[in-house]
């Protein structure tokens, strides 16, 4: 198999670090690895497959000779640097929001629309974490009965704010345990420990936040459903890692709970955990504690939407998935691996 020169932009962050691990886990054909980060990280060494790789400062010239670049930086840096990688001949898989809704950039979840990779022009976007986690189990149900509407509540872990978010939650929980006064919040709008924060992202149209609009806007593009309607509420919860979502779907055609369960059990990227009679709670339904540090979206609590006037056309379920892995790094590496198979 051809070996590729691969770069990770933002290699020292939570997602960049996970990308490095995923490259190894997925036996990615890495011939040469370049780790790019800020000037303060340059010069440090990271081990990959038994060798020490020295981190370089991110700049346009650092992309010279790269075949594939994985982006794990904020929007402003992505916009400034990743087009430079494309100019130098690399194909970029970017995890930021910078290019997701650009009509010339494929937005890809491999289990759903891998074919869209074929029309890339050097840039491929990785969707938002909550979008990926929600759509992977929605897709097999859409293929059965045609989704036309989604009502979603997300319960998003501190990992969604990267290393600073996880560190802040850990510090707050530790301070509470010692009976100390908590430091002022930095990563979040308010104290997260022992709390829920019903806002992720800035306020957009009609009182919805930017995070809440992503599921509709990105879902329409990924599933090729321009009329898809989504009502979403995003909540930050005091969980370190792994997002959870409550999803109600309305369909064009009839669908039974049994059909939904069968489709979910057979779907790639999905693990059905749906036995309310199980002795162990871990076997009854998905929980973030057990879905962290793995790549499947666990789905359970599959039931009829009894609020739908057309009762045979509504399904409700609960799902959990690791935000850093399948919600970000794993999905990006899966896309990149598809590029090596073209």
Instruction: Quote the CA–CA distance of 124 and 91 in Å, as a whole number.
Output: 8
- Phi-psi region at 95: left, alpha or beta (left = phi > 0; alpha = psi -120 to 50): alpha
What are the angstrom distances between the C-alpha of 44 and each of 48, 77, 117, 227, 246?
Answer: 13, 21, 34, 48, 42
Selecting among 129, 234, 319, 320, the annotated active-site residue is 129
| Alpha-carbon radius of gyration of the chain | 20
Entry field: residues in the chain: 342
Nearest-angstrom CA–CA distance, 272 and 295: 13
Three-class DSSP category at 270: strand
- Asked if residues 156 and 235 have their Cβ atoms less than 8 Å apart, the reply is yes
CA distance 303 to 236: 25
Measured at the alpha carbon of residue 249, what is the angle toward residues 244 and 250, in degrees to the nearest 5? 170
Q: In what order do the strands lie in the sheet with 314-321?
A: 229-236, 147-156, 243-251, 314-321, 297-304, 270-272
Query: Per residue, what are the HEC states of 136-169?
Result: HHHHHHHHHHCEEEEEEEEEECHHHHHHHHHHHH
Examine the residue annotation and report whether 129 is marked as an active-site residue of this protein: yes
- Of 97, 232, 243, 319, which is the active-site residue? 243
> String of b and e for 130-168 (b: at least 16 CB within 10 Å)?
bbbbbbbbbbbbbebbebbbbbbbbbbbbbbbbeebbeb
d(CA 174, CA 35): 33
142 is catalytic: no
- Kindly report the backbone phi and psi dihedral angles of residue 12, in degrees, each rounded to the nearest multiple of 5, phi listed first: -95, -5
Active site residues: 129, 243
């Amino acid at each position: 198999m051809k070996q590729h020169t691969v770069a990770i932009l933002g290699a020292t962050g939570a997602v960049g670090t996970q990308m490095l691990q995923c490259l190894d886990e997925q036996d990615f054909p890495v011939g040469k690895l370049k780790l790019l980060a800020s000037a303060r990280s340059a010069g440090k060494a990271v081990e990959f497959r038994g060798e020490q790789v020295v981190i370089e400062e991110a700049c346009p010239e650092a992309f010279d000779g790269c075949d594939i670049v994985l982006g794990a930086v904020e929007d402003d840096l992505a916009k400034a640097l990743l087009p430079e990688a494309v100019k130098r001949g690399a194909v970029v898989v970017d995890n930021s929001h910078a290019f997701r809704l650009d009509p010339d950039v494929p937005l890809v979840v491999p289990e759903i629309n891998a074919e869209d990779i074929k029309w890339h022009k050097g840039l491929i976007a990785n969707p938002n974490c909550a979008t990926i986690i929600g759509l992977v189990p929605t897709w097999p149900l859409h293929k059965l009965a045609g989704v036309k509407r989604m009502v979603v509540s997300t319960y998003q872990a501190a990992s969604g704010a990267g290393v600073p978010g996880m560190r802040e939650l850990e510090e707050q929980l530790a301070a509470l345990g010692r009976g100390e006064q908590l430091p002022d919040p930095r990563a979040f709008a308010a104290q997260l420990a022992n709390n829920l924060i019903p806002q992720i992202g800035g306020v957009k149209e009609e009182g919805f936040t930017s995070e809440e609009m992503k599921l509709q806007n990105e879902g329409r593009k990924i599933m090729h459903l321009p009329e898809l309607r989504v009502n979403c509420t995003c909540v930050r919860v005091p969980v370190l890692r792994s997002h959870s979502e409550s999803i109600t779907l309305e369909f064009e055609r009839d669908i039974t709970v049994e059909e939904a369960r069968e489709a979910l059990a057979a779907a790639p990227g999905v693990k059905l955990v749906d036995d309310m009679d199980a002795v162990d709670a871990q076997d009854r339904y998905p929980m973030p504690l057990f879905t962290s540090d793995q790549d499947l979206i666990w789905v359970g609590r599959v039931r009829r939407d009894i609020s739908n006037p057309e009762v045979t056309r509504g399904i409700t379920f609960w799902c959990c998935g690791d935000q850093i892995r399948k919600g970000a790094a794993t999905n990006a590496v899966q896309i990149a691996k598809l590029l090596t198979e073209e």
